[in-house]
Amino acid sequence: MIFKREFKRNLKSLIIWSIVLTGLILLTLSIFPQFAEQQKSMEKLLEVYPDSIKKAFGMNQLNMGDLLGFYGVEIYIMTTLLGSIYAAILASNILAKEENEKTIEFLLSKPITRSQIVTEKLLAVFVNVLILNGVSTIASLIGFQFEKDPDVPTEPFSLLIVATILLHLTFAAISFMLSSILRKTRSILPISLGIVLAAYFMNVLAGISEDLEFLKYFSPFKYVDAAQIIQDNELKSLYIFIMASVILISIITSYIVYRKKDLAV
């Protein structure tokens, strides 16, 4: 019951985000054939970029004249960052809004437990995140067809998709935990978005400055670095473990806190 209600309530938002992300992916991939044809002139243009900037965005490791390399630099940034923002917004509101909208007492008057509320709302978040990732993956596969002879290695592309999903679920789980702890959605959302943006900029700063390189260990965006995944053809088990641990701890905390929380309104 709760899952269906939450899915319907968030369907409009999911559709809008899916359309926007799909449009951006297709628009960006549509320029690749022209980019590849003018690769030499584009390489000269990229040479003007500071080394720190190229390092920060993986342009020093990936060949942008290659379709997967172009995807890793241009598309991957959009899917990881925008998807993380979507996941944070969705998960931040989903629990606390019952208290904000003063519907929690009505909900608890039904034959339903607090644990069931958490489970079904959490499931709604994860399903929405997975659907958005599915849409972006399909859009990418369609966009690849703009190239006359698309040659994208299946394994590294699949690893990039898995990495993106793990990243989005990590931020979704953290934001969901905040939603279980705090009461006001207007305070949860800025914190959740702040975490996403801070993590992103820490990763960028770590790439720009060697003095700030230590920041990369605090950013999940570094764990899913496209250049590293494509070059090594693997997603490091340590990074998988860290993200999976954060997801699990956040979920467990959400259950513990919400079951004991004073929900009087």
Q: Which residue's entry shows tokens 């989005």?
A: 168
Give me the domain span that covers residue 24.
2-260
Q: Could you tell me which of 78, 69, 85, 63 has the C-alpha nearest to residue 28?
A: 78
Predicted confidence at residue 265, as pLDDT, reads: 47
d(Cα 223, Cα 39) in Å, to the nearest integer? 29
pLDDT in tens, 127-184: 999 999 999 999 999 999 888 777 788 899 999 999 999 999 999 999 999 988 887 6
Average pLDDT, the chain: 85
Q: Which residue's entry shows tokens 């920060």?
A: 56
Q: Calculate what percentage of the chain has a pLDDT beyond 70.
A: 83
Inter-CA distances, 239 with 194, 201, 234, Å: 22, 19, 11
Tell me the range of 7-11, 46-50, 225-229, 243-247 where mean pLDDT is highest: 243-247
Stated pTM of the model: 0.89
Assess if residue 265 is contained within a domain.
Answer: no
pLDDT-based confidence at residue 74 (cuts at 50, 70, 90): confident
- Structural domains counted in the chain: 1
Can you spell out the DSSP letters for 133-180?
HHHHHHHHHHHHTTSSS----HHHHHHHHHHHHHHHHHHHHHHHHHHH
Angle at Cα 199 formed by Cα 83 and Cα 259, nearest 5°? Answer: 75
Predicted confidence at residue 44, as pLDDT, reads: 60
Predicted confidence at residue 49, as pLDDT, reads: 58
